[in-house]
Structure 1
Amino acid sequence: MSKPVFLLMPEWQGSASSRAMQLAEGASILREDLPRSVLHEVSVPLEAGDALGTPVARLSSVLQAHEAAQKTLATADGIPIIVGGDCATSLPGLEAAVQKHGDGLAVLWFDAHPDLQHPSTSPSGAASGMTLRHALGGGSPELASAHPILASNLTLVGTRAVDPEEQSEIEQLKISVLPASESDLADAITTRLSELDASHVYIHLDLDVLDPAEFMAVHEPVPFGLGVSQVTAAIRAAVAALPLAGASICEFAPADASMAAEEQPTVLRLLAALTSGSKE
């Protein structure tokens, strides 16, 4: 049985929020609860970075963090779980999983947003909102994955804030969607994974997939989300159905110490679900 290893990646430069630095603070808080023996810290630049003449904001720093994560992933021995930072931190993890498992990789994208924006039309230019576009091999050439995931093996879970262009991309690529209104999400995910010719699953978890009534430590709460128990059960069902290839948990951005103390147990509960059935 392979054991999880944790990559703490406090990247904030891919976020569109004016309070993006809270992501680095959130990552620092989570560090204290991660086992030091299997913890790797990914070097993230301190500076905001430059767009390098592209439509992608702070691209230089995003690229530096991405390359640092790739180097860490190449030497990490175990199932990598990237913790902290914005959604763009998922990209190196997805690339590493595809390199190892190829077309046998299923991807579950727990996120209020599909993150399918194109750099040329993105309203913010934030890399975080383009992560899946890049993981599918499109978007900015500097970030487009050389090892793209298969759209047919991708499932959006709890996604409910979708731009018109993103909706067009979902329809064009025939990407499967399990809405937040799904009555039995764990069962639906088990069924979905059984329909795929997949050997492993990668799980991306943006905490804004959760309903704001249950979790508020994110930059952009989106109403009518999933309950914590729903997501926990769904993740456990996924890792029971297929071995975990890797995961990322993103966008923990507590506004203050009080919120951090209140919401941190939920993040740890979700991390426990991710590691509940990882095996080869």
Structure 2
Amino acid sequence: MTRFIVVPQWQGSPSTRSMTLIDGADAIAGDLPRSATVRVDVPVEAGEALGSGIRRFSSLQRTRDLVDAALIETDGATADTSATTPGGHSVVVGGDCGVAVPAIAHSAARHPDLAVVWFDAHADLHTPESSPSGAFSGMALRAVFEAGPLSPDAGVPVDRVVLAGAREFDEPEIEAVRTSGLTHLGVEDLADPARLADAVAATGAGSLYVHVDLDVLDPAAITGVSAAVPFGLDVPTLTNAIGVLRGRFPLVGASVSGFAPPHPEAVVDDMGSVLRVVGALA
């Protein structure tokens, strides 16, 4: 059975309406099976940087530890059985995309052959030194493959990371893509879902983690994101790509983030799209 861990973390976002991520996570949680859902109690306070170069670092650090503990408890503190049990993995529901970092580290520790597909409109490849905002969500993918203040156990080699659908990059992120060795597939590349699956296969991975920041979708498909970027994916293209990936690789973990409805009507308008994505991951 798929397990859901709801993490209404907002402290990693640079948005002026970052706290609407709490509303988004809670709205998704309302449509999940209660018996299979755990809600992490994210710290209320914003938190301090503590010399890390990351805004709200102390609260983010506390949430990271809570997510890891929830995943261990949900696994039964033993081996993840998702490679042999369809639907036997956990889906972490954010909040901002920083919630994926401890979840990926958790999966990587149990599956040394893990590859990560990161669907996002933004590259999320900053470091504390290069980030113009200091917001961790803009560093989250970098933290998946490079050790840092919030990722001491970054366990996925960069050559097993695929960034999918990104179309907004800052200069340091362009340089990171050029020099790091990660694979980037743009929106046009995802029209053929086999191309994404082939890119994962080329990494030699034997298991897969998929993260979806909902802003990878086109603004016509979803309104409740805090940093919409034009010319994104439609829902069928995204869910089809996930389906093809799952047909070729064992999915051992997943996450979805970035639902920030600006008002209650947006929840109603967007929930169909959101739940189709969650369903594809679950």
> For the residues of structure 2 that align with 1:172 and 1:194, how far apart are their CA atoms?
21
> For the residues of structure 1 that align with 2:192 and 2:280, how far apart are their CA atoms?
15
Code of the aligned partner of 2:122: H
> For the residues of structure 2 that align with 1:226 and 1:111, how far apart are their CA atoms?
10
- Equivalent residue, structure 1, for 2:222: 215
Question: Residues 183 and 70 of structure 1: is their aligned pair in 2 closer, same or farther, counting only changes over 3 Å?
Answer: closer
Map residues 132-171 of structure 1 onto 2, 5 A cutoff.
132-138=141-147, 140=148, 142-171=149-178
Q: CA RMSD in A?
A: 1.2
> For the residues of structure 2 that align with 1:183 and 1:192, how far apart are their CA atoms?
11
Q: Identity of paired residues, percent?
A: 37
1:182 to 182, 186, 189: 189
**Normalization by structure 1: what TM-score?**
0.93
> For the residues of structure 1 that align with 2:258 and 2:140, how far apart are their CA atoms?
13
Deviating more after overlay: 167-176 vs 82-91: 167-176
> For the residues of structure 2 that align with 1:159 and 1:199, how far apart are their CA atoms?
24
> For the residues of structure 1 that align with 2:21 and 2:171, how far apart are their CA atoms?
28
Q: Give how far 1:195 is off.
A: 2.2
> For the residues of structure 2 that align with 1:107 and 1:137, how far apart are their CA atoms?
13
Q: Give how far 1:134 is off.
A: 1.4
Q: How many corresponding residue pairs?
A: 270
- Equivalent residue, structure 2, for 1:84: 94
Matched, 1:94 2:104: yes
CA offset digits 1:53-87 (Å, max 9, x no partner): 22100001000110000111111134111002001
3-state SS, counterpart of residue 177 of structure 1: strand
Unaligned runs of 5+ in 2: 76-87
Deviating more after overlay: 225-234 vs 69-78: 69-78
> For the residues of structure 2 that align with 1:167 and 1:239, how far apart are their CA atoms?
29
Q: Give how far 1:227 is off.
A: 1.0
2:239 to 232, 244, 252: 232
> For the residues of structure 2 that align with 1:125 and 1:8, how far apart are their CA atoms?
24
Structure 1 moving runs of 4+ over 4 Å: none
8 A Cα contact 2:206 2:250, kept in partner:
yes
Map residues 1-280 of structure 1 onto 2, 5 A cutoff.
3-77=1-75, 78-102=88-112, 104-138=113-147, 140=148, 142-182=149-189, 184-275=191-282
Q: Give how far 1:261 is off.
A: 0.3
> For the residues of structure 1 that align with 2:15 and 2:190, how far apart are their CA atoms?
32
Q: Give how far 1:9 is off.
A: 0.2
Q: Give how far 1:145 is off.
A: 3.4
Code of the aligned partner of 1:95: A
Q: Give how far 1:111 is off.
A: 0.3
> For the residues of structure 2 that align with 1:203 and 1:79, how far apart are their CA atoms?
11
8 A Cα contact 2:101 2:151, kept in partner:
no
- Equivalent residue, structure 1, for 2:83: none
Q: Give how far 1:5 is off.
A: 0.6
Deviating more after overlay: 261-270 vs 128-137: 128-137
Q: Give how far 1:183 is off.
A: 5.8
CA offset digits 1:27-56 (Å, max 9, x no partner): 111111111111111120011111112210
